[in-house]
Homo-oligomer: A and B are copies of this chain.
Amino acid sequence: MKKSAAKTPVKHKILDAALSVIRSKGYAATTLDELCASAGVTKGAFFHHFKSKEDLAVSAARHWSSVTNEFFENAPYRRLSDPLERVFGYVDFRKEILRGKLPEFTCLVGTMVQEVFDTNPSIRKACQESIFGHAAEVAKDIQLAKKRYAPDSKWTAESLALHIQAVIQGAFILAKAKQDADIAAESVTHLRQYLEFLFEPSNLKKRRKLKLTAR
């Protein structure tokens, strides 16, 4: 019948399985046998698409980037017209998605980079590009918001965007340690408070509740 519809390509299945397995067990503890089993694929298929475990990790990090990019691009807050509202929308959205089991909402590259930063340069670099690439996207809105609402502030949009990522990554660690997503949400709440201070130091009550103004 149809040519390329219906069945997920094997490579894609392996990458999706990698996101899930590595996020729960870590990179080093993930065995290729288990990964292949989880993807419903044989080892021969795996090594047809990836030349090594390291190659898989690099590909998984890039796959993670494209999955998350698409996820955030299509998130509802993206429709807001005001850049500052998009910034707050982003933070609120990050808080909202802290639901379900931990490996489902924590960050692949944040997990992996802790294991490999000192031992595997190529994976480390892929993780760096993923984290900093995402931060750069957030920084765009922050930059616009800053220009409009806090043009004289000393902090840079890049630095604030990275701080936001740091809080989120750190919140994941607390959540993993306590096995509790709520502790992560609390940290994001503090982060939001900080943003409110930065953008509206004198009049922060007003901006507390932002609404989605669709379109």
- B residues within 8 A CB of A115? 25-26, 28-29, 111, 114-115
Q: Which residue of B lies closest to A183 (CB)?
A: B162
Stretch at the interface among A1-9, A11-19, A68-76, A169-177: A169-177
In the bound assembly, the distance between CA atoms of A169 and B172 in angstroms comes to 9
Copies in the complex: 2
Q: Which of B24, B163, B177, B187 contacts A186 (CB under 8 A)?
A: B163
**A122 within 8 A of partner (CB):** no
- Mask for A100-112, Cβ within 8 A of B = 1, else 0? 0011000001110
Q: A26-B114, A163-B187, A167-B187 provided; 7 other pairs, C-beta below 8 A?
A: A26-B116, A28-B115, A117-B177, A127-B177, A128-B178, A194-B194, A197-B201
Q: Can you name 13 A-B residue pairings with CB atoms under 8 Å?
A: A117-B176, A127-B177, A128-B177, A131-B177, A163-B186, A163-B187, A165-B174, A166-B170, A166-B187, A169-B169, A169-B174, A194-B197, A201-B201
